[in-house]
Structures are given as C-alpha cells and as structure tokens.
Chains A and B, each alone.
Chain A
Amino acid sequence: MKNRSLAFWLFLTPVILGLGIVVVIPFIYGFIYSFTNWNGLTATEFLGFQNYINLFQEDEFMQSIWFTIKFAVVTVLLLNVFGMALALIVTRNIKSNNLLRTVFFMPNLIGGLILGFIWQFIFISVFGDIANLTGIEGLNGWLSTTNTGFWGLVILTAWQMAGYIMIIYIAYLENIPKDLIEAAKIDGASSFQRFKNITFPLVAPAFTISMFLTLSMSFKIYDQNLSLTNGGPFNSTQMVSMEIVRTAFSDNQMAYAQAKAVIFFLIVAVVALTQVYYNKKREVEM
C-alpha cells in the first residue's frame, strides 16, 4: 500500500480520528490550559506556572502523592511475591492446577468498584466478628484509621491482581526447557539450587515486566480507592487519581486540577520510560 493511496488513509481514518479527538487533542489542550485560569469552558487569563507552584504547596495533594508512592511500592512487592508463588504452585504437576489458575485469576475479571464494596464488608463486618470470637483487638475498626485504610487497599489490590501477575510468570516458567531441570537433577542439584541457578535467571525478564506493570497499575488506581475507603478518614487515604477527580469535579477548579494531571502524567511516563530503557539494555546484553 502506498502512502498516497486512498485505501491506506481510509483504513486509518477511524482510529486517527478516535485517538486524535479522545487522547491527543485533549492532552494538548489540557497542557495549555494548565497555565491559565480555565474553568472548563473559557480561560481569561494566562497564569504562567502559578497553578504548578500552588500544587506543590498544597498539603492535600502532596500527601496524596506520598500515599500513592507508598501504596505502589508495598503493592508491587507483595504482588510479585504472591504472583510468583502462585505461578510456582500451579506449574507443578498437581491435579488441581487448572482449577487453581481459574480461581486465582477470577478477581481480575470483576471491576475494582465492586470488589472494593465486597472488601468493605470483609474488613468491617467479617473482621469485626472474628475479633469478637477470638479477642484479637487488631481486627477491630478496620478502614477507620489511615493505617488500616492503607493496608486494606494493599490487601484488596494484591488479592485482585496477583492472578494477573501469576499468568505472566506462568508464561515464562513454562518456557524453561525441561531437560535443563532434568540435567541439573541428575547432577545432584537440590531444588533450591535449581530454583536459584536455573529458574530464577530465566524468569528474570518476567520480573521486570511485572514490576513496571504493577507499578503503573497501582499509580492509576481509582475505583478501589473510591469504593473501599472513599479517601477517608479525613482524606488521608486519598490517592492522586481521586485527588485530581475531586479538584476538578467537586471543587470545579479545572485548570488547577489539570496542572495536577500533567504532573501525574510526568510521574507515570518516567516510570514507563525507565522500563523501556531497562528492556532495551537487557536485549543488548542478551
């Protein structure tokens, strides 16, 4: 197909319009408007970097950024440990491996909003009842403090997405040549040595993929945050995404919210580009 051919452009028109109107134009508009006093309809004044200066001085926004970073780091670690562990279990020659894959993956198919509501019930009512039965005080009053809200979100996200990470690890684990493991066995390597010297190095790329995938997923979380804690108590468990939505659609400070959205983009882009850099570097080494 030639550049000038009509067919080439006709084939591309729908998606160029789609991406252009939905992503590219709003992205450029938003970037420009973040330097003004835009109210969602019109902008009357150019403010320079004023919105950006303000947001770095706003406690609520900075707090939401730190909360999100803390959440992302803990969740990424847990997700990869769980995902790897589940993958190691279901790739063994056990009878229930297909059933278990189905079960572990199931939460991924259900929306974060609905799962957050279910876990609200678990954390408040079920944990409360278990505390009454066993006398474990720590299970009382979940989601009513910043700390339990934080761990509630971590547990929910780890539970929901571990099955997804498991699938990535499975793809790599099943590609390990069986004879390599057999040869090591015959040479007398223990199962720990086999894991350390064969399985782990061959699965390392999956680790890079999963780490960055989970990192950007946990940065963008909104639904789970809304339905599980709704940012409470006192906005202390509010993540960046929710902070931006509220600044825009509850406080109606559109330009200011858009400046926050630009900062959010920069953070997510840096994470993603670091991943691209590492992947390229690894490809060169191999």
Chain B
Amino acid sequence: MKKNQEKRNLFSIEILGLLLGLLWIAPFYLMVVNAFKTKRDIFGGVLGFPSELAFDNFAQAFVDLAFLKSLFNSVLVTGCSIAIIILFSSMAGYALARNKSKLSGFIFFIFVAAMLIPFQSVMIPLVSIFGQADMLNAGGLIFMYLGFGCSLSIFLYHGAMTGVSKSMDEAAIIDGANRFQLFWYIIFPLLKPISVTVGILNTIWIWNDYLLPSLVLSEANATIPLKMFYFFGQYTKQWHLALAGLTIAILPVIIGYFFAQKQIINGVSEGAVK
C-alpha cells in the first residue's frame, strides 16, 4: 500500500517537473518556431507552426550579423581573457598560499575586498583612463577582464592550494627546479580541476558581457552581444529577422552546453557555494 502511494507521489512530482521544464524552454521554442516564419506568417499569428520554412531569414541574419566575424571577435576576447586569468590567478593564488606573512594576508584581503566594488562604480574613470592611453580596443578589453576576473579566481585557487602538499615544493627544489619550473610542471597540473571551474565561471560572464564591450569596442570589432544590439535596433518590428538573428547568436552557447553540461553545472555549483 505504502509503496504504491510513494510511487504515485513520485509520478506526480515527475509530471509537475516536466510541465515546469516545458514552461522553461517555451521562450526558446517560440523563438525558433517564429524564426522560421515569413513576415506575413508572423503577422497571422505567433502560436502556430510556420506555413513554409523561411530559411532566408537565417541567411540574411547571418550576413547582417557579420556572424563569422562577430564569433571570431567573441572567441578572441573570451579566449585570451580566460587564458591570462587562469595563468596569472593561479600563479598569484600559489604565491599567496605559500607565503604565510602578514603582507601576503593583506594582499589577499585586498583582492577579496575588491569583489565588493560593482563594475558601475569604476566604469567612468576606467573608460577615461584607457581612452587617454589610447587603449580602448580588444587588447585593453582583455586586460580589463583580467582586472575584473582575477579576484574571484585568486580566491578559488587560494582555497584549492590547501589540498596541495608542501612536500611537493620541497622535493622539486631539492631536485634543482626553480620556482617557475616548480609551479609550471608540478603545481599548475595539480590545480587542473579548479582551473576548469575558473575557466567556466569566467567564460559565462565574459562571453555574455555587453556593457563593458559597448564602452570599449568599435562596431567593427563588436563581439556577439554587442553586434546583436546593433542588429536588433536595425530590425525592430521585423520579428522574423530579429528572431533568426537571436537563434544564430545563441547557437554557440547551446552547442557548448551540450558537450560540457556536467562540467558547467559542477563548476557553477563549486563557485557559488564557496
């Protein structure tokens, strides 16, 4: 009796979950379905299926988004930022964790405290300083991402260093390795799991960031979110093109999520709970 009721309960929870799941993806479903409609089709109603598949929408959106170029810019900015954040933050996390002095504790505290400062509170002087140094370009943007991304990353690496035994250091030094060899060949490989987490967390916000690139990059060097903003402004009231553009813009993320969903969810979970 009791077993049966538990089974029934579980079944109704499953149904509830699936209904919520459908509700959750409904906006994406409506976007894709209507991206395949002609302008007249959308005018006739957005809830039904397309009467014919308008692939032209995607062709035009692909061209107007300069999609390959925007994708290249996004990959370049995000990729370079992540590479230097991982390299420099792990070095710093290692140095700070292995030095137990007051000074080291103070430097660590400054990095953690800097997480309190919201981007909006520094953006105006930041843009002014970089403008005067003629650094409002992709290189400057990547450097800015290092500045904004390193605090949380150092915090995570610093925490992970407690799991790396000091005897590793001593053994390598006795064998004649210098600090850099020791870090690069021994410590950095051991930090790989946390590097994956740091990479994922930073990729999510840098890839999607709009405000900072909009202040730094020209339209010619626009990343996907920035280009999407210009594109959308051009096609207000033309939902068939706007939705096709949005679908294309989301595609790289969905593909990435499909292949790395487990690592992404674990990484976010680790980053949030610490």
Contacts and interface: CB of A to CB of B under 8 A. Distances in A.
Contacts of B31: 118, 121
Contacts of A164: 268, 272
Interface in A1-51: 1-3, 5, 7-8, 11-12, 14-16, 18-27, 29-30, 33, 40-41
Interface stretch (A59-67, A122-130, A137-145, A194-202): A122-130
Contacts of A29: 125, 129
B20 A117 contact: no
Interface stretch (B52-60, B191-199, B205-213): B205-213
B4 to A, nearest CB: 16
The B contact surface, by secondary structure, is helix
A76 interface: no
Contacts, number: 265
B165 interface: no
Interface string B21-56: 100110110110010000000100111000000000
Interface of A: 1-3, 5, 7-8, 11-12, 14-16, 18-27, 29-30, 33, 40-41, 86, 89-90, 92-97, 99-115, 117-119, 121-122, 125-126, 129-130, 133, 159, 164, 167-168, 170-172, 209, 213, 216, 219-220, 222-223, 226-227, 240-241, 244-245, 248-249, 254, 257-258, 261-262, 264-265, 268-269, 272-273
B269 A171 contact: yes
B210 A223 contact: yes
Interface of B: 10, 13-14, 16-18, 20-21, 24-25, 27-28, 30-31, 34, 42, 45-47, 84, 88-89, 91-92, 94-96, 98-99, 101, 103-104, 107, 110-111, 114, 116-126, 128-129, 132, 143-144, 146-148, 150-151, 154, 178-180, 183, 204, 207-211, 215, 225, 228-229, 232, 239, 242-243, 246, 249-250, 253-254, 256-257, 261, 264-265, 268-269, 272-273
